[in-house]
Amino acid sequence: MLLSPPPPPADFPGEAERPPRPSLGTGARIWLVRHGRVTAPDTAYGDADVPLSQEGLRQTEAVARSLAPLGARGVLSSPLQRARQLGEAVARASAAPLQITDRLKELHRGEWQGVARTEYAERWARERDAYWESTLTWRGHGGESEEEMVERAWPALIEAVDVATGGVAVITAHRQVIRALTAAALGVSPGASHRMELDPAHGILLRDASGGWILERTNAPSPGAPHAAEPPDGPPRDVVTQLR
């Protein structure tokens, strides 16, 4: 069961566009990589520290190998073990310094953390309209709003740009954090950003260009590896072109 908001209503008018956050213009490329699959309890876990599954451990090593040739200049990671183990593996493979920061922890889901997944889904259904009316500031679970999550996590993205100094840096974190940071950088509304797929052990690549942030890859199955396909008449197939 997907632990995310239910789809917006068919008549949902959409949110007003928000301006993209300013880039620094360094040319740095930042890989934001979601941790591998976890040994998930039958509950909503949010920012609880759940471990990786055996498959997730294998995915972690595969991602680290795929990123190693890029010569990352630094790795920033969430302290939660599922993301931290990925950060440690990438840092080892890349011979890069690793920084652990609480800013990159997953969204805290307040009173909803620890409830059974069936109950979690029922609560989302009851809060559906309220959520889609105010996706940035909604706090119906008593936990963290998306706006609060972005404000704490954004400085970590800027620090990754500084660490990269025009090269490559890696952030290892969680689906909601990566989705929200990407949406803030590009100026995509929070509601529309839920269309962005990000599977476990997949990555998003942002470039800090002089004219603003550029989304170069999304839901890339082997971060760091060449595009699986380069169509002659358009962008790589793992790039989402319609988010708004």
Question: Considering the entire predicted model, what is its pTM?
Answer: 0.89
Q: Which residues are catalytic?
A: 35, 106
**pLDDT at residue 234, as a whole number:** 46
Element (H, E) at 200: none
CA distance 233 to 243: 20
**pLDDT by 10s per residue, the chain, length 244:** 345 565 565 555 555 568 999 999 999 999 999 999 999 778 888 999 999 999 999 999 999 999 999 999 999 999 999 999 999 999 999 999 999 999 999 999 999 999 998 999 999 989 988 998 889 999 999 999 999 999 999 999 999 999 998 899 999 999 999 999 999 999 988 778 888 889 999 999 999 999 999 999 999 987 876 544 444 444 455 555 445 4
Closest CA to 91 of 117, 106, 105, 71: 71
Calculate the CA 83 to chain-centre distance.
11
**Residue 233 CA, distance from chain mean position:** 28
pLDDT of residue 226: 57
Rounded to 5°, the CA angle 196-107-118 comes to: 80
Contact 90, 31 (CB under 8 A): no
Closest Cα partner for 33 from 228, 190, 225, 163? 225
Distance CA 26, CA 184 (A): 18
Query: Pairing state of beta strands 168-173 and 75-77?
Result: parallel
Report residue 81 as tokens: 């073990």
CATH 3.30.1280.10 fits 38-174, yes or no: no
